[in-house]
């Protein structure tokens, strides 16, 4: 049995070693820099995922050239520059964010949000104010008060009258507790969770948020109305306005409505008459909005408009009178489009909190996080009210040297956490010793986990390592190419001129003829042909040639000759290309009439001037410099390719 086990273990060990060897097999070596087959394969597939791709052998050659240039850049010390290190570190921080959050949690949260986003809720609420850090006694008083208010409504008191008398919401005197229609991320999450799990007509129990306790009644649920773009004219009657002011505003808005009915321009009326100073100059135009983003009466009136350019009768809100014109409307978008909007609406701090907590839990489990509960109890015991409310957070009594927690290869001692409390105590709520210490411990552990995880990203995630290598190489490639190729070629006038002299044949200005072409119509008849031809031969050199020829060529309403004058290079005019160029008049007979060509001047083939073609020469010169440089690098650095491994790789990727 023991022998069989030993054989099995040996086989497993060999299999593991073989697998690791395959994963770490070196495909390419340029000087001392080794590139594994896995890294090359990852790069190849990443950069050749479309229909058009470079075959593997060609890509290997291109990649080898890149590695040669990077080798030269490192030898020049570019990677040691402070600016280079700073840019590389900035990129790493940005890239690491994707590996230091739990994206799956965010995705699930946003998917649930989209399902809710499809529905709009109309709700009423009463707030009993109670801060999140309120003492337990005050919290209980607020909770009991919420229960009593709920009971009054259950016994038949109108919700609005109870709200106006009991709610701590400062807007209650304006809206009577009526929130109108709203959707996701427009109320605190516990509030949202409650209403999306209620039916129309249902009354909630006390719902706790950071503001206090809420009693909520859901009035209605409906499909999301989408988003709308409107312009409006407003006559303001803010709360506290006199009856005279209200009557004057109503009269004014009615007269504006009559002007619109008689064909007046909405935008002009808004500019000249609207009391909304933020939008009047723009013709009353408002940003796009959805339900819950504008006051209820305004929003409902806008969404009742069925067509673009349709406008409402005067609409009353607590802020005054409005005439609303619809400009455009968008339906509920598909998930991918809505995701960007929802993510933008969601508080970044809240989204980070969701992701952070989930990611910390995941890492704790992965790295076997262990907490010394006795040490934690000791911290609870010293964090009394005197300590929490003091001017500093220095622990004056003897601090044990024991371990507080550990994970992976990392440890945190009690003195280390005591120092953390001293530096960060002001960041924790101070209403109880447990909450105070637990908040700081959670922050310390999270920071420690992230710091550790960040330090091992290259080893843990090959894709991260490959991306960092690719960016590092790309930065070096740019710097060395800019220095030795691009800037050099632009400033090297002597070298550029020498390159031009060896390739002058590529910059020849083709011969050009300036000519006048006479086409006599086939409808002219022989007699007219002879007369027109004679006139052309006689007057083609005359300054007044056109009048002299046309006197003969115009017959009634018909013009029997067409005259075209211009300059043509070889290859631009078939007629000129098929004849020998010499100045003077020549005649040709075609099926559709007689053609006479008068070549007025000829410009022979010539080399283009260097300054005229400098911009066209530059790319070629840069390529020439690059090829010369690559040849030098191939002679300088040793390049080794595992040909057998390359063939296996080609069969794997199929290209």
Considering the domain architecture, whether residues 248 and 260 belong to the same structural domain is answered as: yes
Our count of domains for the chain comes to 4
User: What is the pLDDT at residue 655?
Assistant: 61
User: What is the pLDDT at residue 55?
Assistant: 87
The number of CA neighbours under 13 Å toward the Cβ of 401 is 0
Percent of the chain with pLDDT over 70: 94
Q: What is the pLDDT of residues 573-615, one digit of tens each?
A: 888 888 888 898 988 766 677 899 999 998 887 777 877 778 7
Taking alpha carbons only, the member of 62, 46, 170, 9 closest to residue 477 is 62
List alpha helices for 24-81, DSSP H: 37-47, 56-75
Flag whether 562 is in a domain: yes
State the Cα–Cα distance between residues 97 and 106, nearest whole angstrom. Answer: 13
Considering the domain architecture, whether residues 126 and 218 belong to the same structural domain is answered as: yes
Flag whether 162 is in a domain: yes
CB 316 within 8 A of CB 324: no
Q: Running DSSP on this structure, what letter comes out for residue 177?
A: T
Q: What is the pLDDT of residues 237-247, one digit of tens each?
A: 988 889 999 99
CB 296 within 8 A of CB 121: no
Flag whether 352 is in a domain: no
Alpha-carbon distance values, 136 to 132, 147, 234, 390 (Å): 10, 17, 48, 21
Average pLDDT, the chain: 88
The total of other beta-carbon atoms located within 10 Å of residue 619's CB is: 10
Between residues 56 and 13, the one the model is more confident about = 56
Alpha-carbon distance values, 200 to 148, 197, 217, 603 (Å): 22, 10, 8, 89
Considering the domain architecture, whether residues 317 and 234 belong to the same structural domain is answered as: yes
Considering the domain architecture, whether residues 394 and 437 belong to the same structural domain is answered as: yes
Beta strands 561-569; 512-520: pairing state: antiparallel
The pair of structure tokens assigned to 380 is: 């609870």
Flag whether 250 is in a domain: yes
User: What is the pLDDT at residue 349?
Assistant: 58
Interacting residues of 626 by C-beta distance below 8 A, sequence separation 6+: 481, 485
pTM equals 0.61
Q: Which neighbouring-strand residues pair with 236?
A: 320
State the Cα–Cα distance between residues 325 and 261, nearest whole angstrom. Answer: 13
Q: What is the pLDDT of residues 274-320, one digit of tens each?
A: 999 999 999 999 999 999 999 999 999 999 999 999 999 999 999 99
Considering the domain architecture, whether residues 600 and 525 belong to the same structural domain is answered as: yes
Considering the domain architecture, whether residues 196 and 266 belong to the same structural domain is answered as: no
- Kindly report which listed range (228-232, 256-260, 382-386) carries the lowest average pLDDT score: 382-386
Taking alpha carbons only, the member of 359, 546, 373, 316 closest to residue 446 is 359
Of 169, 196, 223, the residue at which a domain comes to its end is 223
State the Cα–Cα distance between residues 65 and 288, nearest whole angstrom. Answer: 52
Residue 181: enclosing H or E segment and its boundaries?
strand 178-182
Q: Which neighbouring-strand residues pair with 306?
A: none
- Using the structure block, give the residue that is written with the tokens 């989930």: 358
Considering the domain architecture, whether residues 397 and 452 belong to the same structural domain is answered as: yes
Question: Can you tell me the mean pLDDT for 56-73?
Answer: 93
- Name the most confidently modeled range: 84-88, 107-111, 429-433: 84-88
Question: Can you tell me the mean pLDDT for 4-24?
Answer: 39
Buried b (16+ CB within 10 A) or exposed e, 348-366: eeebeebbbebbbeebbee
Flag whether 310 is in a domain: yes
User: What is the pLDDT at residue 23?
Assistant: 52
The pair of structure tokens assigned to 272 is: 């000249």
Considering the domain architecture, whether residues 172 and 132 belong to the same structural domain is answered as: yes
Considering the domain architecture, whether residues 410 and 390 belong to the same structural domain is answered as: yes
Buried b (16+ CB within 10 A) or exposed e, 208-222: bbebbbbbbbbbebe
Considering the domain architecture, whether residues 210 and 260 belong to the same structural domain is answered as: no
Question: Can you tell me the mean pLDDT for 646-654?
Answer: 87
Taking alpha carbons only, the member of 287, 266, 269, 290 closest to residue 278 is 287
Of 307, 331, 355, the residue at which a domain comes to its end is 331
Flag whether 480 is in a domain: no
Q: Is 207 helix (H, G, I), strand (E, B) or coil?
A: strand
The total of other beta-carbon atoms located within 10 Å of residue 650's CB is: 15
Q: Quote the Cα angle for 601-606-607, to 5°.
A: 155
User: What is the pLDDT at residue 6?
Assistant: 34
Q: In what order do the strands lie in the sheet with 315-317?
A: 227-236, 320-330, 315-317
CATH of the domain at 314: 3.10.50.40
User: What is the pLDDT at residue 155?
Assistant: 95
Q: Quote the Cα angle for 36-37-43, to 5°.
A: 95
Q: Is the pLDDT of residue 143 over 80?
A: yes
Q: Give the distance, in angstroms, between the CA of residue 49 and the centroid of all CA atoms in the same chain.
A: 21
CATH of the domain at 518: 3.30.70
Q: Running DSSP on this structure, what letter comes out for residue 119?
A: E
Considering the domain architecture, whether residues 215 and 231 belong to the same structural domain is answered as: no
Domain that holds residue 408: 367-457
CB 30 within 8 A of CB 637: yes
Q: What is the pLDDT of residues 545-580, one digit of tens each?
A: 888 888 888 877 788 888 999 999 888 888 888 888
Taking alpha carbons only, the member of 631, 632, 620, 630 closest to residue 499 is 620
Of 558, 575, 604, the residue at which a domain comes to its end is 604
Inter-axis angle of helices 56-75 and 610-636, nearest 10? 90
CB 26 within 8 A of CB 642: yes
Considering the domain architecture, whether residues 203 and 247 belong to the same structural domain is answered as: no
Alpha-carbon distance values, 325 to 86, 223, 422 (Å): 53, 23, 59
User: What is the pLDDT at residue 508?
Assistant: 77
Q: Is 226 helix (H, G, I), strand (E, B) or coil?
A: coil
Between residues 638 and 102, the one the model is more confident about = 638
Q: Is 510 helix (H, G, I), strand (E, B) or coil?
A: coil
Q: What is the pLDDT of residues 226-236, one digit of tens each?
A: 999 999 999 99
Alpha-carbon distance values, 296 to 117, 268, 292, 332, 359 (Å): 18, 27, 7, 19, 39
Flag whether 573 is in a domain: yes
Flag whether 103 is in a domain: no
User: What is the pLDDT at residue 159?
Assistant: 95
């Amino acid at each position: 049995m023991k022998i069989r086990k030993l054989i099995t273990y040996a086989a497993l060990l060999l299999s593991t070693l073989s697998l690791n060897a395959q994963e770490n097999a070196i495909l390419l070596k340029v000087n001392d820099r080794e590139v594994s087959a896995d890294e090359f394969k990852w790069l190849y597939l990443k950069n050749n995922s479309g229909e058009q791709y470079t075959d593997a052998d060609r890509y290997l050659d291109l990649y080898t050239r890149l590695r040669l240039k990077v080798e030269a850049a490192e030898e020049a010390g570019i990677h040691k520059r402070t600016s280079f290190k700073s840019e590389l570190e900035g990129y790493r921080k940005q890239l690491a964010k994707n590996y230091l959050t739990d994206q799956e949690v965010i995705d699930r949260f946003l998917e649930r949000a989209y399902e809710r986003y499809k529905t709009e809720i109309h709700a009423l609420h009463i707030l009993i104010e109670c801060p999140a850090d309120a003492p337990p006694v005050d919290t209980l008083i607020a909770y009991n008060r919420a229960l009593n208010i709920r009971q009054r409504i259950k016994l038949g008191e109108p919700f609005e009258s109870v709200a106006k008398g009991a709610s701590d919401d400062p807007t209650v005197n304006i809206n009577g507790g009526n929130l109108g229609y709203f959707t996701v991320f427009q109320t605190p999450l516990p509030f949202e969770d409650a209403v999306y799990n209620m039916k129309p007509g249902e009354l909630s129990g006390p719902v706790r948020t950071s503001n206090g306790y809420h009693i909520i009644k859901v009035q209605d649920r409906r499909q999301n109305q989408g988003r709308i773009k409107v312009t409006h004219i407003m006559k303001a009657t803010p709360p506290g306005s006199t009856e005279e002011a209200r009557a004057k505003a109503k009269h004014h808005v009615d007269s504006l409505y009559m002007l619109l009915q008689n064909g007046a321009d909405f935008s002009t009326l808004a500019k000249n008459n609207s009391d909304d100073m933020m939008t009047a100059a723009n013709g009353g135009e408002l940003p796009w909005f959805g339900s819950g983003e504008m006051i209820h009466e305004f929003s409902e009136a806008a969404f009742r408009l069925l067509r673009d350019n349709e406008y409402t009768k005067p609409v009353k809100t607590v802020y005054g009178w409005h005439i609303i014109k619809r400009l455009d409307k968008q339906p509920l978008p598909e998930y991918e489009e809505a995701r960007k909007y929802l993510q933008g609406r969601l508080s970044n701090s809240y989204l980070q909190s969701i992701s952070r907590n989930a990611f910390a839990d995941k890492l704790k489990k992965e790295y076997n996080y262990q907490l010394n509960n006795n040490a934690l109890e000791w911290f609870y015991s010293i964090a009394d009210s005197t300590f929490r409310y003091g001017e500093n957070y220095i622990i004056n009594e003897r601090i044990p040297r024991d371990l507080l927690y550990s994970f992976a290869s990392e440890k945190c001692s009690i003195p280390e956490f005591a120092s953390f409390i001293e530096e960060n105590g002001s960041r924790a709520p101070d209403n109880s010793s447990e909450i105070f210490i637990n908040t700081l411990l959670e922050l310390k552990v999270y920071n420690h986990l992230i710091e550790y995880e960040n330090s091992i990203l290259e080893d843990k995630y090959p894709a991260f390592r490959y991306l960092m290598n690719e960016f590092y190489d790309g930065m070096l490639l740019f710097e060395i190419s800019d220095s030795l190729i691009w800037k050099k070629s632009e400033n090297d006038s002597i070298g550029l001129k020498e390159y031009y002299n060896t390739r002058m044949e590529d910059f020849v200005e083709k011969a050009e003829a300036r000519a006048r072409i006479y086409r006599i119509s086939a409808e002219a008849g022989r007699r007219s042909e002879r007369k027109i031809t004679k006139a052309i031969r006689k007057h083609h050199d005359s300054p007044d040639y056109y009048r002299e020829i046309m006197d003969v060529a115009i017959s009634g309403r018909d013009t029997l000759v067409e005259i075209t004058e211009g300059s043509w290079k070889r290859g631009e005019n078939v007629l000129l290309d098929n004849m020998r160029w010499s100045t003077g008049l020549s005649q040709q007979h075609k099926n559709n009439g007689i053609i006479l060509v008068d070549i007025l001047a000829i410009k022979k083939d010539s080399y283009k001037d260097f300054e005229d073609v400098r911009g066209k020469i530059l790319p070629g010169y840069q390529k020439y410099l690059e090829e010369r440089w690559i040849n030098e690098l191939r002679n300088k650095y040793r390049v080794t390719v595992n040909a057998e491994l390359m063939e296996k790789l080609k069969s794997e990727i199929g290209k």
